Amino acid sequence: MSDLHSATTRNFSLIRGGPFHRLLRSLGQTSDERHKVITRAVGAVLLCWLPLLLLTFAHGVALGARMQIPFLFDYAVHLRFLVALPILILAESSIDRRWRGLAAEFLRTKLVRQQDLPHFESIILRVTRLRDSFLPEIFMIPIAFAAPLFLGRTEVLMEAATNWHLGLAGMWFRLISAPMFRFLLLRWIWRMCLWTLFVFRVSRLRLHLVATHTDLAAGLGFLSGGQKAYSPIVFAGGAVIAGSVLNAIRYEGQTLSSLKFTMISYGVMAVLILVVPLLVVTPVLVQVKRRALLEYGALVTEHNQLFDTKWVGEHRSREDVILGSPDASSLVDLGGSFAVIRQMGIVPIDKQTLVTLLLAAALPMIPVVLIVTPAYELVHAILKMLG
């Protein structure tokens, strides 16, 4: 059987759509070419960070002992706008390609049958229409501006009298920089919702799932790659948390020990948020596993009974020689298949993806630990682990 071909699937994208994308396209800034992507990232930095630098210098709050947190020593703002913000833009092309490849995998692996291809393409078109709708991104704008009203203070010491957030720089931060960052973050959350909806609807097709598949997910193990693709976004969030933690330690007198729960909680929360969307296929996998256990269980029982009668029971033939007989091999193979079914998971996530996401969340925290921990304590800890 030849591979299924679908122009709709080849053009699948959860990135290239929506009002903001159309605005960028009108400015000629939507190409996936490397220099265009870099241009968008640099443009975002110039819009969100550079005015803060110029305004704080103009008002004398970029440096100086009279400021508790001068702009140039505000770790949170620099990590947010010089590290996390560009990543939210630079990651678009790679994640879009990964999602498009995963959508095509349903066809390449023949999980979607020929007769269900029109239904598969209609799912893509419906999700694409949602991607292009105005309402989601329109709602994101007031949420991006109003977030501090619901979440409280989002910047360490933002309300302190000796903080650089006062004056025009603070106004630019509150009205332009912070809302822009939140808006881009909300768009990524919306995209994950779209991807989850796509996976949910496709999983309700009559997919050709096989419980004995060695990915232990009936053939859907590749979906784990869609969550792993989000590791740059997890890293960006970790950079924001790391900046806030570093500010809290430097300027609020907090300790690394008192903030370790916050750092660990972020890693756990990031993983959970990306694993939960895969639960949409759990009912399907539960049904496949339950049916396979019954069917293969009956097959194994019948096969083992025949094997026992032929080779073990009192009625076995004395003339047959088991050495070289395919019966023993089929016994092992069938038993192995049944063991695979019993090990089959009901969430298509693998350990490699979990480790990747945890590392992405933890990596930004490592410089914080190195900065705030005295050298002799690090050496002592290392020697203690080695000895």
With 50 as the cut, is the pLDDT of residue 340 above it?
yes
Chain mean pLDDT for the chain: 87
CA dist 16 and 96 (Å) reads 9
Residue 312: the pLDDT is 73
Residue 26: the pLDDT is 85
CA dist 37 and 22 (Å) reads 15
CA dist 151 and 163 (Å) reads 20
Residue 302: the pLDDT is 83
Higher pLDDT: 323 or 46? It is 46
Residue with tokens 């001068």: 70
Residue type, 218: A
CA dihedral angle for residue 344, residue 349, residue 355, residue 361, rounded to 10 degrees = -150
Q: How confident is the model at residue 385 (pLDDT cuts 50, 70, 90)?
A: low
Higher pLDDT: 167 or 174? It is 174
Q: How many C-beta atoms surround the C-beta of residue 31 within 10 A?
A: 14
How many Cα atoms occupy the beta-carbon half-sphere of 220 within 13 Å? 29
Segment among 73-77, 237-241, 308-312 with least mean pLDDT = 308-312
With 80 as the cut, is the pLDDT of residue 374 above it?
no
What tens digit of pLDDT does each residue of 234-253 get?
999 999 999 999 988 888 88
Instruction: Give me the residues paired with residue 163 across strands.
Output: 69
Domain locations along the chain: 7-280+349-386, 288-343
CA dist 354 and 228 (Å) reads 8
Residue 160: the pLDDT is 46
The percent of residues above 90 in pLDDT, for the chain, comes to 58
Residue 164: the pLDDT is 77
With 90 as the cut, is the pLDDT of residue 369 above it?
no
- Which element (helix H / strand E) includes 275? helix 256-275
Q: Please give the full DSSP string across 127-183, using - where no structure is assigned.
A: HHHHHH-SHHHHHHHHHHHHHHHHH---STTTT-TTBTTSHHHHHHIIIIIHHHHHH
The percent of residues above 70 in pLDDT, for the chain, comes to 88
With 70 as the cut, is the pLDDT of residue 151 above it?
no
Mean pLDDT of 255-271: 90
With 90 as the cut, is the pLDDT of residue 278 above it?
yes
Residue with tokens 């989850």: 196
- Full-model pTM: 0.88
